[in-house]
């Protein structure tokens, strides 16, 4: 049976969201959750469409999670477009948009966090100290509130997908995590809410990320497996672009996210690059 009601709605209250999810579960409906920070684009919508094909109820959360930002400017500059987001989410197959307030999610005195060592400390975790503590805590809270059977995450944020899977496994959470492929602009740039902050010149410069990944993949396909050589190729391709500044470039094992000396099938090339002030990430697996 699809859906407890045909009314699509935006829910702000945590109590109302829990009650809605509990009612749906009591009716035997399967719940899919797509956590987002809003400013929805085709990347998010592809997750929502996939969730809609696999569940009775699709909840899309829209919450700019303050505790995962280490840069107050990045947080304040994050686009907030709830009305347009809700419309786009409903059109893509969402039944509910859950948009809680920051003060409700983190009331005064809040002090419970989900921390992970290992893979969450590498890549983005090395340059953004408490980022994954914030991500895992909010994802844990969203799971507690929305009680999803399935939750959908993009491969664009490969490290996020890895650490969420590890958390669910290690903390015995009753939810199946689905990874969904990265959706790209025509020129290959991975879609991101942050792309809107690029100037025209920066938008052109941002192509260096996919160019670097393409060049390194071509080298790998030609037989090169040394991570040092492949990393150098990635770095050279980025550094040719004057507006780009490397945050990190790594070739890692997809589970531990530890650097590997030799690239094997399934390993991940992961990049974080500043284009002007905007930090972009991208990744690709060796096939």
Give the SS3 label for residue 194.
helix
Stretch that binds ligand AMP, among 179-187, 250-258, 260-268, 275-283 (CB under 6 A): 179-187
Query: Under a CB-based contact definition with an 8 Å cutoff, are residues 209 and 182 in contact?
Result: no
Per CB under 6 A, does 193 bind ligand AMP? Answer: yes
Query: Under a CB-based contact definition with an 8 Å cutoff, are residues 27 and 1 in contact?
Result: yes
How far is 193 from 108, CA to CA, in rounded Å?
A: 29
How far is 41 from 260, CA to CA, in rounded Å?
A: 33
Per CB under 6 A, does 37 bind ligand AMP? Answer: yes
Where in the sequence numbering do the catalytic residues fall?
44
How far is 137 from 112, CA to CA, in rounded Å?
A: 8
Compute CA 250 distance to the chain's CA centroid, rounded to the nearest angstrom. 18
Give, as ranges, the residues between 67 and 106 that touch ligand AMP (CB under 6 A): none
32 to each of 132, 263, 277, how far by Cα in Å? 22, 35, 35
Per CB under 6 A, does 122 bind ligand AMP? Answer: no
Per CB under 6 A, does 191 bind ligand AMP? Answer: yes
Per CB under 6 A, does 128 bind ligand AMP? Answer: no
Stretch that binds ligand AMP, among 99-107, 182-190, 205-213, 270-278 (CB under 6 A): 182-190
Stretch that binds ligand AMP, among 72-80, 184-192, 210-218, 223-231 (CB under 6 A): 184-192
Per CB under 6 A, does 154 bind ligand AMP? Answer: yes
Q: Compare residues 163 and 190 and give the one whose CB is closer to ligand AMP.
A: 190
Per CB under 6 A, does 182 bind ligand AMP? Answer: yes
CA 157, 158, 161, 167 torsion-angle sign: negative
Which residue among 122, 131, 141, 156 contacts ligand AMP (CB under 6 A)?
Answer: 156
Which residue among 143, 153, 220, 286 contacts ligand AMP (CB under 6 A)?
Answer: 153
Dihedral pair phi/psi, residue 38, rounded to 5°: 85, -165
Stretch that binds ligand AMP, among 3-11, 41-49, 70-78, 232-240 (CB under 6 A): 41-49
DSSP one-letter code for 190? B
Helices then strands, counting H and E runs in the chain, come out as 11, 9
Nearest to 238 by CA among 270, 192, 194: 270
Per CB under 6 A, does 183 bind ligand AMP? Answer: yes
How far is 156 from 165, CA to CA, in rounded Å?
A: 15
Q: Compare residues 120 and 182 and give the one whose CB is closer to ligand AMP.
A: 182
Per CB under 6 A, does 44 bind ligand AMP? Answer: yes
Instruction: Report in angstroms how near the CB of residue 195 gets to ligand AMP at its nearest.
Output: 9
Two structure tokens written together for 5 = 């009601």
Nearest to 6 by CA among 125, 95, 118: 95
Per CB under 6 A, does 246 bind ligand AMP? Answer: no
Instruction: Report in angstroms how near the CB of residue 250 gets to ligand AMP at its nearest.
Output: 18
Q: Which residues would be at the binding site for ligand AMP (CB under 6 A)?
A: 36-37, 43-44, 46-47, 153-154, 156-157, 180, 182-183, 190-193
């Amino acid at each position: 049976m699809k859906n407890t009601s045909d009314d699509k709605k935006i829910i702000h209250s945590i109590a109302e969201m829990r009650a809605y999810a509990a009612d749906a579960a009591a009716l035997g409906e399967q719940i899919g959750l797509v956590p987002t920070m809003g400013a929805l684009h085709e990347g998010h919508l592809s997750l929502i469409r996939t969730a809609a094909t696999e569940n009775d109820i699709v909840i899309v959360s829209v919450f700019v999670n303050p505790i995962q930002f280490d840069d107050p400017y990045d947080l304040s500059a994050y686009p907030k477009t709830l009305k347009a987001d809700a419309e786009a989410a409903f059109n893509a197959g969402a039944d509910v948009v859950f948009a809680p307030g920051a003060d409700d999610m983190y009331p005064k005195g809040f002090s419970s966090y989900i921390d992970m060592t290992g893979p969450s400390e590498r890549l983005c975790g090395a340059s953004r100290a408490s980022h994954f503590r914030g991500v895992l805590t909010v994802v844990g809270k969203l799971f507690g509130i929305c009680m999803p059977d399935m939750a959908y995450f993009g491969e664009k944020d490969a490290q996020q997908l890895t650490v969420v899977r590890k958390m669910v496994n290690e903390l015995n959470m009753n939810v199946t995590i689905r990874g969904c492929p990265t959706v790209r602009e025509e020129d290959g740039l991975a879609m991101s809410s942050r792309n809107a902050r690029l100037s025209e010149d920066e938008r052109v410069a941002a192509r260096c990320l996919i160019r670097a990944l393409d060049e390194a993949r071509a080298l790998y396909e030609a037989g090169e497996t040394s991570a040092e050589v492949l990393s150098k190729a990635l770095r050279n391709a980025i550094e040719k672009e004057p507006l780009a500044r490397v945050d990190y470039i790594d070739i890692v094992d997809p589970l531990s996210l530890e650097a590997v000396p030799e690239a094997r099938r399934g390993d991940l090339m992961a990049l974080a690059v500043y284009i002007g002030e905007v930090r972009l990430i991208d990744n690709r697996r060796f096939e």
